A and B are shown apart, each in its own frame.
Chain A
Amino acid sequence: MEKDPEGLFARLSPEGQELSPVIYRHLHPRATRATVLRMVESRPYRATGYVCGNFRKPISRCLGPDEPG
């Protein structure tokens, strides 16, 4: 299982470590996905834009050329 080579838990202050639940010792790092998965069709009365894989980008802030794949 992939552990946390970036060592986020290790970089917390002593107080930060003390206040963190046990799962913080086993964080799983992944490359942040910003890939646009599919386009939502435009309609005059609905939001326009793209749905993103990681759901971090609100639909209408993802405007831009679609990515392959």
Chain B
Amino acid sequence: MDWLEALGGRCARLNGDDIEGRAALCFEVADGEVSLGFTAGGFELPVSEIGAVWFRRWLYERRHERVDLLDPAADNHTLHHQLRRHLGLESRRLSDFIYSRFDHLPWLSHPRRSSLNKLDVLQRAARAGLATPATLVTTEREALHRFCAERGTVITKPIGEVDAFVEGEVSHFLFTTALGLPEIDALPERFAPSLFQEMVDKVYELRVFYQAGEFHAMAIFSQNDEQTRVDFRQYNRRRPNRNVPYRLAPELAARLRGLMDDLALETGSIDLMVARDGREVFLEVNPVGQFGMVSRPCNYRLERKVAELLLRKEDDGKRP
């Protein structure tokens, strides 16, 4: 936002929870005219003046997901679940409608493309010629046992989103976790569908911010710290990993560009690992991933590049 202003633009921010009761929302259809307004703290979002939309993370947690909807004495979990489910659908429908009001404008990351299927992306990445980790989704201990015997230590992570379950002062995180044969032997014969991958013997990790055909990459030396070895997001804040700017090989960049085109993504944060055997292994791409963590250590000033692209989009949108 600072760069948008510095470059002569204007911007306003609408949070997902603004429509959950924090701001006044008014949508009206009258005589074929549609009006939509948001007002918070005396300030009205100038909807009609908006020329481009940058979609980031709309809403982490809906209001009704944080509270007990029933009196605790009611103790009716099924009813509680039904109420939450319905309120969730209502909120999603409203969000979809608000997005649709800006359909005529240029977007940078659209909500429809902000949540990818990890398994689908892996398949597309392999088709684009990228190295990908051997992957298994199974419910069977025996199949996992065989996979582990063939591939060595494996890791498990969510098929969908990484999340944390907050319980008072404690958050239970779903970090990527390594499993060896003893942990696998301790599992029941059958379990819920789970994702497993070979544990890549990495030298370092790459975090790459992609935007409009350009790559801005950073190497993360997470391997030498036991805390960050399996998942660098288990940050060691006392002794942070070393992060340095990194130039992608042209062949790798071409393959990644092919994947981003295939996914119809104009921007995204890409995770890769460089293995001891030299493979550059693609892990995943997040269309609305963080880029400050790449921009700051590498002095890439990505915030400025994002602002410049948004202003270009706004100009393009105004042309007849």
Contacts and interface: CB of A to CB of B under 8 A. Distances in A.
Contacts of B2: 41
B147 to A, nearest CB: 12
Contact of A27 (B159, B165, B187, B191): B165
B40 interface: yes
A23 B164 CA distance: 12
B192 A30 contact: no
A25 B61 CA distance: 24
A28 B172 contact: yes
Interface in A1-52: 1, 4, 6, 8, 18-33, 40-41, 43-48
Interface residues of B, number: 47
A1 B208 CA distance: 27
A8 B165 contact: yes
Contacts of A46: 1, 11-13
A1 to B, nearest CB: 7
B192 A21 contact: yes
A45 B43 contact: yes
Interface residues of A, number: 35
A13 to B, nearest CB: 11
B170 A29 contact: yes
A43 to B, nearest CB: 8
A27 B17 contact: no
B234 to A, nearest CB: 7
B60 A56 contact: yes
A19 B192 contact: yes
Given A22-B179, A28-B172, A31-B169, A45 B192 contact: no
A40 B13 CA distance: 12
Contacts of B22: 58, 60-61
Contact of B172 (A6, A44, A55, A59): A6
B173 interface: yes
B170 A58 contact: no
Interface of B: 1-2, 5, 10-13, 15-17, 22, 40-41, 43, 46, 57, 60-61, 156-159, 164-175, 177-179, 187, 191-196, 226, 230, 234
16 contacts: A6-B172, A8-B167, A18-B192, A20-B192, A21-B195, A22-B179, A23-B157, A26-B177, A45-B11, A46-B12, A46-B13, A48-B41, A56-B60, A58-B22, A59-B13, A60-B15
Given A28-B175, A30-B170, 17 more contacts: A1-B178, A21-B156, A21-B191, A22-B179, A22-B187, A23-B156, A23-B158, A26-B156, A26-B177, A26-B179, A28-B174, A29-B171, A31-B169, A40-B1, A46-B11, A61-B17, A61-B22
